[in-house]
Chain A
Amino acid sequence: AQSVSQHNHHVILSEAASLELGCNYSYGGTVNLFWYVQYPGQHLQLLLKYFSGDPLVKGIKGFEAEFIKSKFSFNLRKPSVQWSDTAEYFCAVNSRGFQKLVFGTGTRLLVSP
């Protein structure tokens, strides 16, 4: 069965620090990969996605993620975080051709001003 691991459950950073959130998945076939963000009091929003092509994908608000197939990883990065990035971040995967999304347990990011 597919699974997604997010290694950091809680991350605390100061503004302007760089961010990297880890995501690993277990599935041998072709996958689509996603990062969703949930700001306090709001619903899940798509941050970025990878279907195929360039393994470095750019999303909204300066976020990017790199798909490394050999490592089954899709880590999220941002060079300089802002207080407004305080949120919970979820990595998700689905198998190509299937609809079900499998989510990780999420990472709570707190950015202190």
Chain B
Amino acid sequence: DTGVSQNPRHKITKRGQNVTFRCDPISEHNRLYWYRQTLGQGPEFLTYFQNEAQLEKSRLLSDRFSAERPKGSFSTLEIQRTEQGDSAMYLCASSSGRGYEQYFGPGTRLTVT
């Protein structure tokens, strides 16, 4: 069973650096989501793709954040000029067009020092 995979699993970076995360969804899923989770909180929605189109973005997604899904398969989330407040777990999820349930990956834990 190939579930949602995310790379890297951990990333430590210095404030001001750029980072990029990758998500590979379940192969037949055309919908892909990014969430962010901080300690003691539930995941918070960032953005959503249907195929290659980015259809919804949260206000949490500042202009330093950009997400792409160029061929409708894997997706990348880039954070430019990282800040300490960006430290969090970044989760990716995918779903098929038929159902509403989202399947989550293991996440990428970002630490900004």
Contact = CB atoms under 8 A, between A and B. Distances in A.
Given A49-B100, A51-B100, A103 B42 contact: yes
A106 B44 CA distance: 12
A110 to B, nearest CB: 16
A98 to B, nearest CB: 8
Interface residues of A, number: 23
A43 B105 contact: yes
A100 B42 contact: no
Between B41, B101, B107, the greatest number of chain A beta carbons within 10 A of the residue's beta carbon is seen for B101
Contacts of A105: 40-42
B106 A43 contact: yes
Interface in A1-42: 4, 32, 34, 36, 42
Contacts, number: 52
Interface string B83-103: 000000001000100001111
B74 interface: no
Contacts of A92: 42
Interface string A100-113: 11111110000000
B25 to A, nearest CB: 13
A46 B42 contact: no
Interface of A: 4, 32, 34, 36, 42-46, 49, 51, 90, 92, 94, 98-106
Interface of B: 31, 33, 35, 40-45, 48, 55-56, 58, 91, 95, 100-107
